[in-house]
Structure 1
Amino acid sequence: MDASALAGIVWELGQQAGARLERICQPSPSELYLFLRKAGEVKRLCLGMRSDLPRLHFTASRPENPAHPPAFCMLLRKWLEGARLTGVEQPPGERWVCLRFRGRSSLGQELALGLVAELIPGATNLILLRLPEQQVLAALKPGAVLYQPPALPGGVSPGRWLPELFADGRQDPGPAWQMLLSTVRGFGPLLAKEVVFRSGWDADAPAQLVAPQADRLARFVHDLAGAVSAGRFQPAVYYGREGKPRYWHVLELTHLSDLVAVSMATPSAAADHFYTAYLQGAAFTSRRSGLRGALSSAGKRLERRARAQEADLQQAAVAGEFRLWGELLTTFADRVPVGAGRIDLPNYYLPDSPPVNVPLDPALGARANARRYFARHAKGERTRVAAGKELERTLAELAYLQRVSDTVEDCRTLQDLEEVWEELREAGLAHPVPKSPRAGARSGKFTGLELVSSRGDAILVGKNHHQNEQLVRAARPDQVWLHARGVPGAHVLLCPGAQAGKDWPPADSLEEAAELAAHFSRAGRSRWVEVDWTWARHVRRVPQGRPGLVVYHHEQTIRVSASPRLFAGGNSPPR
């Protein structure tokens, strides 16, 4: 957010002069929300103080109000709640603003207060001042007792732009827009590139090429600066080909012709749309990365356990030799001399009775040595049985992790990822993490896909183990359950609609549901997939099993395409 974009927000915020500050909440250390009421309408002003993403704009989102607000929030409530917004100030070309309020002290004395938002990357801060003394009453990052505005950066105001100031660019090998950044105060990279582009060059043209005709740059700098000062804003969000917002600004950016520009009603609408999508995308990427790390760590731990259990099985495999030695010592006890350390005895289990060299404890007799070998054989057998069961459980855990890993890669929303994380936490494979507000990850409501077949029958698709568990528990006996045959994937439930009759389930609805089961499975990249279907009354949860793990019988198998058809509304379900 450069100073020009901030000016658009300040212009919009100025229209709320006279609004009453009704409520303040601070859902995170770097995020503050002011609720301003004017003419019966409440607007939520977001002040984001992340050092890498400072922002100020009205927002449509509803912030979570923590049960225990931070101390800074409590101080702001003490001084500002109930105060009136009297004005907003932004020094020309600067990225900090002062929101002026008129309030009253606890004794009823009228006070002039200012809330300064410093939106400078790497140096963000929120400071509450008592005016006109500039006395600091509270600060997000405490500092001096008396407030000093941030030092002005280099460069001149756009209104004082002179072509001569760009003369040094004749020897600069870098792009011209970077020279503009260091010369004109208040312009960010987007506006600097826009000036170069409107002047007739490529947005990344070198300064050596542009500098000889700096007067053209000066004209367009004046034009853009004049549009900002006159409030001629054209807020828009610019989307890339992948459908994600890439940039936003309050002025038209013609150099972004390869992007799709979507006009917004107000500067705040553009900022809110962009930052909401950006933060959700960043949270999604972070959560998916965390899940991948947790799954990788758990998988490596289980692989080490499996190797240890396989080693135990290999050691237990020699227990049969101990039994043979014990039997030979018992049979030929009279041939074993007292104090012998080894002896060769015939193995009567094999043809020609080849000799077997049996180690002995010299301090024990033949039968005592035999009893010792029988005990070691019994212990080895117990180890073999126990290690085999443990190895079976470990391999099942590894298979479960692989299914969860496939689910994580298929997740498309933050809520889906939070459900998977909660499932791993309950399984003891991940640490609990704070949920995003109103995620509803563990609510009783089904959170998977709810679709309608072309015939009007409801189709429910569980995209993770928690949603699969919800389907299995909620299924009615007359509903049809489907799953891709022999591969991990989604549980799909076909529910009878209003037209259900004796021919239930209808072939077309059944095939459409099977296509979904094939699509949301590990075989979803294949052209054709076999899908099992059966009545829900024949599906049972595995006792003590992982969520979504079932056994079923009386199934039938159909072969369908893994590309689902279009459903009501004209949309095909995303992967």
Structure 2
Amino acid sequence: MAFDGITVAAMVQELKNALADGRIAKIAQPEPDELLLTIKTPKGQKRLYISASASLPLIYLTDENKPSPMTAPNFCMLLRKYVGNGRITGISQPKLERIIILDIEHLDELGDLCKKQLVIEIMGKHSNIIFCDDQGRIIDSIKHVSAQMSSVREVLPGREYFIPDTMAKHNPLAIDESSFGQALKEKPMPLGKAIYTSFTGISPAVAEEICYLAGLESGITAGDLSGDMMAHLFRQFAYYMEDVRQGAFHPVIYYEGSAPKEFGALPLTHYNSLARKEFSSISQVLSTYYATKNTLTRIRQKSADLRHVVQTALERNRKKYDLQAKQLKDTQNREKYKVYGELINAYGYDLAPGSKNLTALNYYTGQEVTIPLDPTMTPQENSQKYFAKYNKQKRTFEALSDLIQETADDIQYLESISNALDIALSEADLAQIKEELIQSGYVRRKFTKKKVKLTSKPLHYLSSDGYHMYVGKNNLQNDELTFSFAAGNDWWFHAKGAPGSHVIVKSNGDELPDRTFEEAGRLAAYYSKNRGSDKVEIDYVEKKHVKKPNGAKPGFVVYYTNYSLMIDSDISNIKAVQD
């Protein structure tokens, strides 16, 4: 679901109710493209979260605080200077644009009353937060847009602020029936697409809903509609827009299984076959719907450097492995040269000088073999040459056998770290993975007086039968879970032959039910590289049978007896426990 103009309209209504006459008590900039405003109102303290992220622009009220950098960015300092302790006098949305304007009054250095505007544009990759004076001139913005970046509009200090009208869309709140029909007929495309490309602030989901309410297929064109059908479509469109105009919002999220599929400020009845949950505010909808997505987006951005280190090391080790495997393959015929040397010593006594080969019976196989010879050498010298070649390849084989195993272990280890980065949920998880990479020598430790505190904990689930299940999010946690936390008769699970998490089920000395084994197996499948597969083979064994070899890398274990099960990686029905 796009953050469309109707969602923005619902947010404006909510902000008007919540922030009327509020004073801005605190301004923070947790991320380069985020603001967090703490506002004191007659109804109590509120926090307004604003993100101009290109991948996930958002605005909503929240109860959560976010840590800020030690040194505030310039844009944050500018806002504190001008509108710290400023009073919000108005909140508006021009037409049905994805824009919210906060009108703010404040006192300047001389004690005179001044007015400013904070313009929040929720427009995908073009999202921005722009600070303007009362004349509509830009003071600064959280993102600067130069003429080289955009030919439509510069967003720079001193420029005049205006809303670009690049799509020439109509205002859906002020359209009449005649203009409505004409606008749609001008676009020979599917009806749903014609609606959302003709009118401001309407997303594809809302366009689909309007067609559904009118009983029309969204795939037909406006030219296929009779006059009566077009009039009926306009009435449904007008009814929908009247709800927006009157602020009759009913925020809702539709779920497909346990995953949120779609949300709306107004009901989307064409999703009635899905489970739905209604909310009292659009902020609750947005925070619920986007919380996980936003967190994962940020974590992925913050893990980019670690991913680059791991990926570079993986590529280097894979190339090394391929080269070693090729060299090892070249030593496969080493025993042949040993036999050649022996046969020349056995049968070469009657060779004529200058012979180019020797045909002799191989007493190991009972078959004749022809051995190439160097005619410039004596039989004894030819024999010594083959023995020397055999010994060289034997030494190469022995050295490479150890090296190729070391390289394979390194690849397996790096893949396990890559999997840990995939399932990391917080900055604490990343800090622990970075510490592991430092200990393994892949990342150099930076000298700092401030000691990094590792606070990341394993994931915690409760089985349907009431047994506690724990999942390591990285190799350090895997070792901690398996060899410090788990008791001997607890059960240990891991995806077979794939990088993944250790899963521990606390048995409490009981014989576990089959359903708990299956749920633990699903966790091991989900938190492995085989996530998403319909069938994943899982090894499981009592923890007392799991050993760690001396000098082994973090997370590496061995076991010589185990059970196996085939399971899917769907954990949607397994209860997570918040520790």
Q: Is the 8 A contact 1:313 1:387 kept in 2?
A: yes
Distance 1:315 1:134, change over 3 A: closer
Which among 8, 11, 23 is matched to residue 9 of structure 1? 11
The answer as to 2:327 corresponding to 1:312 is yes
Q: Which residue in 1 is equivalent to 2:78?
A: 75
**Matched AA of 1:148:** Y
Distance 1:528 1:268, change over 3 A: closer
Q: Secondary structure at 1:28's aligned position in 2?
A: coil
Distance 1:289 1:206, change over 3 A: farther
Which among 530, 533, 543 is matched to residue 542 of structure 2? 533
Q: Which residue in 1 is equivalent to 2:550?
A: 543
Distance 1:377 1:172, change over 3 A: closer
Give the Cα separation in 2 of the matches to 1:184 and 1:72: 34
Give the Cα separation in 1 of the matches to 2:41 and 2:411: 58
Which among 458, 482, 486 is matched to residue 447 of structure 1? 458
The answer as to 2:97 corresponding to 1:94 is yes
Q: Which residue in 2 is equivalent to 1:502?
A: none
Give the Cα separation in 1 of the matches to 2:137 and 2:568: 65
Q: Secondary structure at 2:106's aligned position in 1?
A: strand
CA RMSD of aligned residues (A): 5.2
Pairwise CA distance, 1:521? 5.4
Give the Cα separation in 2 of the matches to 1:305 and 1:61: 48
Pairwise CA distance, 1:121? 4.1
Give the Cα separation in 2 of the matches to 1:559 and 1:324: 45
The answer as to 2:122 corresponding to 1:119 is yes
Distance 1:46 1:445, change over 3 A: closer
**Matched AA of 2:541:** D
The answer as to 2:58 corresponding to 1:48 is no
**Matched AA of 1:262:** K
The answer as to 2:176 corresponding to 1:162 is yes
Give the Cα separation in 1 of the matches to 2:563 and 2:417: 26
Cα deviation code 1:467-492 (max 9, x no counterpart): 43121231466553545797667645
Q: Secondary structure at 2:547's aligned position in 1?
A: strand
Pairwise CA distance, 1:387? 1.0
Pairwise CA distance, 1:447? 0.9
Distance 1:245 1:477, change over 3 A: closer
Q: Which residue in 2 is equivalent to 1:236?
A: 252
**Matched AA of 1:10:** V
Cα deviation code 1:223-278 (max 9, x no counterpart): 33333333222222233x34433333322333433444322111222232233244
Q: Is the 8 A contact 1:446 1:470 kept in 2?
A: no
Q: Secondary structure at 1:9's aligned position in 2?
A: helix
**Matched AA of 1:235:** P
Q: Is the 8 A contact 1:26 1:70 kept in 2?
A: yes
Q: Which residue in 1 is equivalent to 2:149?
A: none
The answer as to 2:407 corresponding to 1:394 is yes
Pairwise CA distance, 1:45? 1.7
Distance 1:288 1:360, change over 3 A: farther
Pairwise CA distance, 1:86? 1.9
**Matched AA of 1:238:** Y
Farther-moved stretch of structure 1 (318-327 vs 25-34): 318-327
Which among 249, 253, 271 is matched to residue 286 of structure 2? 271
The answer as to 2:161 corresponding to 1:145 is no
Structure 2: gaps (5+ residues): 145-154, 445-451
Structure 1: gaps (5+ residues): 433-440, 498-504
Give the Cα separation in 2 of the matches to 1:136 and 1:527: 57
Cα deviation code 1:75-113 (max 9, x no counterpart): 223323222222213222333232122223455554322
Q: Which residue in 2 is equivalent to 1:65?
A: 68
Distance 1:426 1:519, change over 3 A: farther
Q: Secondary structure at 2:269's aligned position in 1?
A: coil
Give the Cα separation in 2 of the matches to 1:154 and 1:357: 84
**Matched AA of 1:42:** Q
Distance 1:465 1:516, change over 3 A: farther
Q: Percent identity over the alignment?
A: 22
Q: Is the 8 A contact 2:116 2:132 kept in 1?
A: yes
Cα deviation code 1:171-213 (max 9, x no counterpart): 7543334444455444444444444443443445531244613
**Matched AA of 2:276:** A
**Matched AA of 2:68:** N
TM-score, reference length from structure 2: 0.72
The answer as to 2:208 corresponding to 1:208 is no
Q: Is the 8 A contact 1:298 1:429 kept in 2?
A: no
Pairwise CA distance, 1:217? 4.0
Q: Is the 8 A contact 1:482 1:513 kept in 2?
A: no
Which among 34, 47, 50 is matched to residue 31 of structure 1? 34
Distance 1:80 1:516, change over 3 A: same
**Matched AA of 2:542:** W
Pairwise CA distance, 1:137? 4.2
Distance 1:290 1:163, change over 3 A: farther
Give the Cα separation in 2 of the matches to 1:133 and 1:403: 54
Give the Cα separation in 2 of the matches to 1:453 and 1:156: 54
Q: Is the 8 A contact 1:423 1:466 kept in 2?
A: no
Q: Secondary structure at 2:396's aligned position in 1?
A: helix
Q: Is the 8 A contact 1:288 1:408 kept in 2?
A: no
Cα deviation code 1:29-68 (max 9, x no counterpart): 3332222222473322222223465432223444342334
Give the Cα separation in 1 of the matches to 2:300 and 2:51: 20
**Matched AA of 1:11:** Q
Pairwise CA distance, 1:72? 2.3
Q: Which residue in 2 is equivalent to 1:384?
A: 397
Q: Which residue in 1 is equivalent to 2:261?
A: 246
